[in-house]
Structure 1
Amino acid sequence: MVPELNVLGLAIPTHGFFVGLGVLVAAVVFTAETRRRGMVRYENLVAVTGALVGGAIGMRLSGWAAQVDLSGLPSLAAAWEFGSRSILGGLLGAYIGVLVAKWLIGYTERTGDLFAPAVALGMAVGRVGCLLTEAPGRPTDLPWGITAPVTTPACPGCVAGEAMHPSFVYEIAFQLLAFLVLLWLRDRLSAPGELFTLYVAGYAVFRFAVEFTRANETVWLDLTRPQWFLVPALLLLSVRLAYNWRRGRYDSPRPEPRAARLTSTSN
């Protein structure tokens, strides 16, 4: 584990460093995508601000929710300061933050296509911090299992020195692959904004599956809190995907008729 990085003589928390780097990378990709699509405008800056604020709030509040049990409730202030930084809570908070920000300024244009590739690559970078600071996963006999020192934070079901799933490596690989697929799909969908829907759906399925290799505590029916969070989310996403599929919203845009192209060229 690498809890701190030495940068120019300064000790910087590893997890926070890579989360910040991931946000920076996402901002660069988002800016490049807005320029590519000719959508550089202040409304999108407001949407990004809403995503950052909502994501920060969602991560902190999800840390508080994860601690709720019958033995007592931690104070909201303490959870804000020390709560776990849940990726799922951050994504939900960022999504709500964008919606609220756009509502406040009366901006109705879809922005999901701008966010999807940026979020995927930013998540891949941010997860490097998790890989270097958190318990990797549950015990495994697979040849690529990794071990963690005794100082690793609590890992339910894990034994110090025993090979464990490199669950964060799985997620980094998924996010990098998702980024490439999203770049390939971004001009191949007829419905604006649905690129983000496909990304969230793909990540939800992956995250539910990868939780079986993670070191998270199971709470009911051998499922973790993130998995129970994802159950209703997956149902809603399935309904939306089926609805959009039947209406052809995931079809490639139809090419412009040749006659129309000739007319526009002659003009």
Structure 2
Amino acid sequence: MLPELVFGVPTHGFFVGLGVTVAAVVFFLECRRRNAPAEQSLIAVTGALVGGAVGMRLSSITETLDPYESWMFGARSVLGGLLGAYVGVLVAKKIIGYKERTGDLFAPAVALGMAVGRIGCHLTEAPGRPTSLPWGVHAPATTPRCPGCVSGLAMHPSFIYEIIFQLLAFAALLWLRTRVTAPGELFTLYVAAYAYFRFAVEFTRANETVLLDLTRPQWFLLPGLVVAAVRLGVGYRRGTYDGILGRKVAV
């Protein structure tokens, strides 16, 4: 566990902030690559940074009913920061009247930003459930919400799993961005892949189960998984993914 970096800088907050910044930079570079207008791109990135900062502050509101406590002392969630960044982009676009879709530009940015942000989670939070696998990790007995830590058990490095997934997703998105040309589909693919991954990786995380051995995030994700499956099925039938499946378009 490494709660603080040099000069007392909180480890988790530092990497979450770094992840949001990295996401903003990748987003800006994607805007330039796709010849999006420079001024609009800069405003969108500004919206991402501001929205990301607000999202990080408010990310713990689900854990407390006190908005002041959430704002002043709440956890700095990677997902909350990046969700806030995305909302910030939408707000910035609305203000300047920019109507082009930016989800496909945002997808690689989110993947790399999540990979960076999860480093902070790995260094400061309970790793996962006990495991006998050879790559199991140990954490100090003082780690919050971690019964396995007190017992000295080896646990799943669940955040490492997510870092690997996000890096692979980032590489895949860079490969797919010239092969999936329908607007919005690159973002759809990423969101669907992450939703299914997150549901699966929850079985290795230390989150409390509430019903049928599923955690709250898993129950929250279930409706989204159905929607994602239907959405991908529609895209498949329409031939949206022919470019990555190697299917020839009928003439």
Q: TM-score higher than 0.5 here?
A: yes
1:49 matched to 2:46: yes
Matches within 5 A, 1:121-136: 121-136=112-127
For the 8 Å contact 1:148–1:160, the answer to whether it is kept is no
Larger radius of gyration: 1
CA distance in 2 between counterparts of 1:44 and 1:234 reads: 32
CA distance in 2 between counterparts of 1:35 and 1:235 reads: 35
Q: Identify the residue that residue 3 of structure 1 maps to in structure 2.
A: 3
1:234 matched to 2:222: no
Question: What is the DSSP-based 3-state SS (H/G/I as helix, E as strand, rest coil) of the residue aligned with 2:9?
Answer: strand
Question: What is the DSSP-based 3-state SS (H/G/I as helix, E as strand, rest coil) of the residue aligned with 1:192?
Answer: coil
Q: Which amino acid aligns with 1:46?
A: I
Alignment equivalent of 1:210, drawn from 181, 201, 207: 201
Q: Identify the residue that residue 248 of structure 2 maps to in structure 1.
A: none
- C-alpha displacement of 1:112: 1.6
Q: How many correspondences in the alignment?
A: 244
Alpha carbon RMSD of aligned pairs, Å? 2.2
- C-alpha displacement of 1:157: 5.9
Question: What is the DSSP-based 3-state SS (H/G/I as helix, E as strand, rest coil) of the residue aligned with 1:205?
Answer: helix
- C-alpha displacement of 1:185: 0.4
Q: Identify the residue that residue 257 of structure 1 maps to in structure 2.
A: none
CA 1:54–1:156 in 2, change beyond 3 Å: closer, same or farther? farther
CA 1:52–1:24 in 2, change beyond 3 Å: closer, same or farther? closer
1:155-192 Cα deviation digits (max 9, x unpaired) = 25654411000001100100111111111101001202
Runs of 4+ displaced beyond 6 Å: none
CA distance in 2 between counterparts of 1:59 and 1:20 reads: 8
Alignment equivalent of 2:11, drawn from 10, 14, 20: 14
Q: Identify the residue that residue 71 of structure 1 maps to in structure 2.
A: none
Q: Which amino acid aligns with 1:34?
A: C
Q: Identify the residue that residue 145 of structure 2 maps to in structure 1.
A: 154
TM-score (norm 2): 0.87
Q: Identify the residue that residue 82 of structure 1 maps to in structure 2.
A: 73
Q: Which amino acid aligns with 1:2?
A: L
CA distance in 2 between counterparts of 1:52 and 1:239 reads: 33
Alignment equivalent of 2:171, drawn from 180, 191, 198: 180
Q: Which amino acid aligns with 2:215?
A: T
For the 8 Å contact 1:137–1:215, the answer to whether it is kept is yes
Unaligned runs of 5+ in 1: 68-73, 254-267
- C-alpha displacement of 1:59: 4.3
1:112 matched to 2:103: yes
- C-alpha displacement of 1:130: 0.7
CA 1:101–1:251 in 2, change beyond 3 Å: closer, same or farther? farther
CA distance in 2 between counterparts of 1:79 and 1:143 reads: 38
TM-score (norm 1): 0.82
Question: What is the DSSP-based 3-state SS (H/G/I as helix, E as strand, rest coil) of the residue aligned with 2:243?
Answer: coil
- C-alpha displacement of 1:203: 0.7
CA distance in 2 between counterparts of 1:194 and 1:39 reads: 18
Identify the range of structure 1 (231-240 vs 165-174) with the bigger mean alpha-carbon deviation: 231-240
Q: Which amino acid aligns with 1:5?
A: L
